[in-house]
Amino acid sequence: MTQRTSFGALHVAIIMDGNGRWAQTRARPRSTGHVAGARTARRIVEEARRLGVGTLTLYAFSGDNWKRPGPEVATLMRLFQRYLAAETARCVGTGIRLSIIGRRDRLTAPLRRAIDAAEAATADGRDMHLRVALDYSARDAIVHAAERLRADATPLSREAFATALAEACADVAPPRDVDLLIRTGGEQRLSDFLLWECAYAELWFSPRLWPDFAAADFARALADFAARDRRFGALPAAVGQGA
């Protein structure tokens, strides 16, 4: 018997790709794509909670995204600050805990304060854990985790490394491994996102640009995931026995 993960225990991660291309295909500024993408993020968060997903991690801004034009980066940061202001009360009302993972030293002081306020206000949420990766690089986090372990002379283990990795990207605790990774926009790569946590993740790619990604698409990804056999390196008969 193969192992299944219930949606309640599920950790879904999403690379929300295609905002800029969505805007360009409509002859609009790229900023309009990011605004549309924020609306999609709200819908997908609501759908994930409705379906009982335990943890949802969204890739909002990578460490390499600083290479984009300054005006676009500034727009993204303003949009994210407005998103926090608008969504914090919604998260509190729906029992969602909000955490931001990634570097914070390169963010503006007002944005850092908004992050702290949002995390504090939603800390008691139990229905779902929403994690948003901002200025995040999995490779950088892995390097910083290794540096922490070396400095502390901590005995090396997967558990110790996961703890150090969480500390390296300002996470509240080591998250469970990613069960399902979704990427929109037609690309099929991880783009430096949750590399350690995605060791045994199931991958699901959608050609839809992120602003066009609908609740039905998300539900379809979960249904496809539920039909897959997850063996984690074991034989089918051994998985059900915990081998």
CATH number of the domain encompassing residue 220: 3.40.1180.10
17 is catalytic: yes
Confirm whether 74 is domain-assigned: yes
Instruction: Point out the catalytic residue in the list 64, 65, 140, 212.
Output: 65
How far apart CA 237 and CA 243 sit, in angstroms, is: 9
- pTM recorded for the entire structure: 0.90
pLDDT at 157 over 90: no
* Residue 2 in domain: no
> Higher-confidence residue: 95 or 238?
95
Task: Tell which residue, 136, 141, 59, 111, has the closest CA to residue 119.
Answer: 111
Q: How many domains does the chain have?
A: 1
* pLDDT score, position 160: 87
Is 19 a catalytic site residue? Answer: no
Q: Which helix (H) or strand (E) holds 56?
A: strand 55-62
- Residue 242 located in a structural domain: no
Output the pLDDT for position 156: 79
Instruction: Give me the sheet containing 180-183, strands edge to edge.
Output: 96-101, 128-136, 55-62, 11-15, 180-183, 202-205
Residue 96 in domain: yes
pLDDT band at 2 (very low <50, low <70, confident <90, very high): very low
